Structure 1
């Protein structure tokens, strides 16, 4: 009999590791959502509603041999997974791939795709009626959202408030940040660095309701709508005591160099759930999945797992379909045209349509 591999979480890392093991194991992918959400393109879909249906892809074509269980993992231990429904999935290997949450619209909390789509369309209508937009946070999400809004509504004023002294935390060069700043200036996006609000607006984010907010130094900012562009939360609160010992203060899980949970022989953690030095990107999630799938295959065959080799740090930051900048240590800084080719225009959607065998769904 083939060993059973339970993959908990159907995001970028989860679908990749599940697909790679489907031919050598009985794979069970546990995911409460009714469709895969290509969150790389979620900000684009907010600005351009033609993208909304495209970013939701069905799971049904992912595993020719295995199965996808649309349920929530309520308790995972080293022997398997107990679902919210009460079903128990005993597993020879478990992969924790539950990722992280992030404020709307970067990630969507709804499990039902119909509700998630309705929320995106409603927020798009609210943005269409807004003249001034306030974004809190000048990280990658805040700046990408600013660029998408300006591409869709060039006359809309966009103000980005950032408590730090510079945009984009991370090991990026001054040259890269200078190029991003140049493009933000060209788009007319207002940056307020070394600044923060005394209190968040009383209105709900993503809802048009004009307000005036004060910064800590007394300045007044008026806008029609605002979005929170910071605050990732790692999803690992479902672990039983034997696995929870690996959880750090922020929820990420301590792993060995081969991505096994510390103290565990057959439990792996990948993507945002794993406490590794890689940045939390879809590309790094796939790299974790590649390492983990190869290690489980080796262990099934009686071999030993190998250490994960981190990818070089980098970023592709679209500022709308035709603007943006990218950086990788071995390539340096790439401008708008290259960034549009890498990510900006297609948002890497076709690769996930192919992975999920969802070629006949949605619109390209």
Structure 2
């Protein structure tokens, strides 16, 4: 009998591990959502109706032998998973791929695709009525969202506020930030850096309603709608007592070079839930998945030298609307609007349609 591999989480890392092991194991992918959500395109889906439905991709074509179980892990032990439904799943290998949460719309907070799509349509309608938009956070999310809004509604006033003195934390050269500032300035995005709000707006995030707030620098800001674009969190409270020692204060879990939890032979982790010191991106999650899938395959076949993972250098493709953006990679260097738009213009949708076996459906 083939060993059972339980993969907890159907995001970028989880689907990649599950797909890679489907031919050698009985894979069970545990995921509470009814479809895969292509979060890379979520910000565009909030402003462009052509993208609203595209980001929801069925899991039906992902696995040939394995299965996708719509459920949630509530307690995880080294060889068993207690499920929210009350069931219990035993496994020879476990992969933690539960990801992270970020404020909507960077990541969607509704599990059913129909409800999430309806919320995106409501957000787009609210943005269409708003003349002034306030975004809190000048990291990749806030700047990408600003670019997407201005691409659809160039006459809207979009203001981005961040207490940091410059754009996008990370080990990037000044030329990267200079190019990014130039493109944002060219699109009319207003940046207020080195300050924060004295208090948050009275209206809820994403809900229309005019307001005026004041930055600590003294500047008054009037807007019709606002969104938080910072503050991702990790939920690993599901770890049982045997695995809890690996959990850091921020919820991320320590992993060895083989991406195993320390002291565990058959429990691995990939993606945002790991404490690997690197930018948390879909690309990194998939690279983790390659290592973990290779290692589980090696163990299933009777052992051998396991693959190891080295934290990736900071790199990014940051769109500024569909026709702009800035790219930096230590090996490639700096790329401007045209090449960046060509790289990420389609937001890698075709790649994930193919991975999930959904090409024919589109």
- Give the match for residue 328 of structure 2: 327
Deviates more, 1:27-36 or 1:296-305: 296-305
* 1:54 match: secondary structure: coil
Matches of 2:4 and 2:268, distance apart in 1: 14
Matches of 1:280 and 1:247, distance apart in 2: 17
- Give the match for residue 316 of structure 1: 317
Matches of 1:222 and 1:3, distance apart in 2: 59
Task: Indicate if the aligned counterparts of 2:210 and 2:224 stay in contact, CA closer than 8 A.
Answer: yes
Matches of 1:311 and 1:192, distance apart in 2: 31
- Give the match for residue 186 of structure 2: 186
* 2:216 match: secondary structure: coil
- Give the match for residue 213 of structure 1: 213
Task: Indicate if the aligned counterparts of 2:7 and 2:94 stay in contact, CA closer than 8 A.
Answer: yes
Task: Indicate if the aligned counterparts of 2:13 and 2:288 stay in contact, CA closer than 8 A.
Answer: yes
What residue ranges of structure 2 are gaps of 5+ in the alignment? none
- Give the match for residue 7 of structure 1: 7
* 1:100 match: secondary structure: coil
Task: Indicate if the aligned counterparts of 2:248 and 2:254 stay in contact, CA closer than 8 A.
Answer: yes
Displacement of 1:263 in angstroms is 1.6
Task: Indicate if the aligned counterparts of 2:170 and 2:314 stay in contact, CA closer than 8 A.
Answer: no
Task: Indicate if the aligned counterparts of 2:326 and 2:334 stay in contact, CA closer than 8 A.
Answer: yes
- Give the match for residue 25 of structure 1: 25
Task: Indicate if the aligned counterparts of 1:287 and 1:311 stay in contact, CA closer than 8 A.
Answer: no
Number of aligned positions between the proteins: 361
- Give the match for residue 245 of structure 2: 245
Displacement of 1:307 in angstroms is 1.1
Displacement of 1:80 in angstroms is 1.4
* 2:82 match: secondary structure: strand
Task: Indicate if the aligned counterparts of 1:57 and 1:361 stay in contact, CA closer than 8 A.
Answer: no
Matches of 2:181 and 2:298, distance apart in 1: 47
Displacement of 1:360 in angstroms is 2.9
Is 1:124 aligned with 2:155? no
Is 1:283 aligned with 2:286? no
- Give the match for residue 148 of structure 1: 148
Deviates more, 1:55-64 or 1:301-310: 301-310
- Give the match for residue 89 of structure 1: 89
Is 1:163 aligned with 2:168? no
Spell out structure 1 runs of 4+ moving beyond 4 A.
none
Matches of 2:220 and 2:338, distance apart in 1: 37
Displacement of 1:237 in angstroms is 1.4
* 2:259 match: secondary structure: coil
C-alpha distance after superposition, 1:250-297 (max 9, x if no partner): 100001011000121100011001110221011000000000000000
Task: Indicate if the aligned counterparts of 1:234 and 1:273 stay in contact, CA closer than 8 A.
Answer: yes
Matches of 1:225 and 1:288, distance apart in 2: 38
Is 1:225 aligned with 2:187? no
Displacement of 1:361 in angstroms is 3.0
Matches of 1:9 and 1:102, distance apart in 2: 16
C-alpha distance after superposition, 1:61-107 (max 9, x if no partner): 10100000001111111011111111111000000000000000000
